[in-house]
Amino acid sequence: MSSKLFNPAATIKDVAAQAGVSVMTVSNVLRGRGRVSEETRRRVLETAERQGYRPNLTARALVERKAPTLALMLSCITNPFYPEFALAANLQALKHERHLLVCNTDHEPDRGTGFLEQVAGSLSDGVLVANNADLPIDELRALQERGIPVVISVWERPDEPPGIPCVTFDSEGAGRLAAQHLVEYGHRRIGAIVGSPKHGIHGGRYAGFREVVRAAKIRQSTADERFTEDSFEHGYEAAKDLLSARPDLTAIFVSNDLPALGVLNAASDLGFSVPGGLSVVSITDIIPARQSRPGLTTVAIPTAEMAEKGVNLLVELMAGRATEATVVHTSAPKLVVRGSTARLR
């Protein structure tokens, strides 16, 4: 029963009862729908306020068949790329009145599967996938076939769409910019450390790099390259290995900032001075890239833009205004020169 006073568990019925109107009128007033007399409006608003009424989003979601959340799937929030992405996605989702449900799939494919099984299409209307490696493409497609909107929000291959709507960026262009920078600085003995297999997630970045190197008539052998995983530690180890084997390198291209920071440390531990004795360039421009000493020269990719466009695409998809073949492009990558690269002299 409704009381005159504050009611911590007030439902729409309580408000209606006390305001002396029907639940429908309360609903209309609160959502600004329908026609309600100013007088009634005020009384309802007042009553709701007094009782401390707040609509139950779960009930609303059930009847509207529309969840108030978006699911964000990423491999590990501890990788500094993801917080930056998640923040932008969160803010954009809010603009569409959605909250963000986060899933860390890290090293546990089951976790992602379970999450999608449970959440997608019931708790969340759609899924934004930011995983770089280990994309569970088949499961995503299965979801899609169920009619659940899915967006891959960091797709690295603009020319090879995944059959799932995606937001992409020019990863080859990024690789080219990084390589061009080294070439322009006069480097001819350039190593490469890639945070994936040759044709894996960083394949585009690597291809761009190779294209420029080849055009500059620079000899590149597999001895100058290391394909590893996309982490600080793997970058560190790969650099130790590479620099020990090829101490004559004057520059290293790294496919991603996080391993590049590891490369910087490895160089320092091996006694290479950066950028005096060794230049390092990479791709992404995460926050720690500008906090290292020296600062990391890198090619910035439009992280926040991808997050925002990913959320927008998801919303479009839910409204039926986008298809499985939709590919959203983003701004061109941009070179950011900091202290880790220097002209060869």
What character string, x for contact with its own copies (CB under 8 A) and - otherwise, covers 219-238?
-------------x------
State how far the Cα of 208 lies from the Cα of 170, in Å rounded to an integer. 10
Per-position b or e across 80-116, b if 16+ CB within 10 A of its CB: bbbebbbebbbebbeeeebebbebbbbeeeeebeebb
Q: Check binding of 311 to its own copies (CB under 8 A).
A: no
67-106: contacts with its own copies (CB under 8 A): 67-69, 76-78, 80, 82-84, 86-87, 90-91, 94, 99-104, 106
Q: Check binding of 291 to its own copies (CB under 8 A).
A: yes
Q: Check binding of 13 to DNA (CB under 7 A).
A: yes
Give the range of 9-17, 189-197, 200-208, 278-286 binding DNA by CB under 7 A.
Answer: 9-17
What character string, x for contact with its own copies (CB under 8 A) and - otherwise, covers 133-172?
------------xxx-------------------------
- Helix/strand/coil for 203: helix
**Identity of the residue, 39 or 138, whose beta carbon is nearer to DNA in the bound complex:** 39
Residue 100 CB, nearest approach to its own copies (Å):
6
Q: What is the DSSP string of 89-145?
A: HHHHHHHTT-EEEEEE-TT-HHHHHHHHHHHBTTTEEEEEE--SSS--HHHHHHHHH
Tokens of 135: 């994309």
Q: Confirm if 156 and 202 have CB atoms less than 8 A apart.
A: yes
**Identity of the residue, 207 or 336, whose beta carbon is nearer to its own copies in the bound complex:** 336
State how far the Cα of 8 lies from the Cα of 3, in Å rounded to an integer. 11
- Helix/strand/coil for 300: strand
Q: Which of 6, 24, 186, 291 binds DNA (CB under 7 A)?
A: 24
Pick from DNA, its own copies, none: which does 28 bind, CB < 5 to 8 A by kind?
DNA
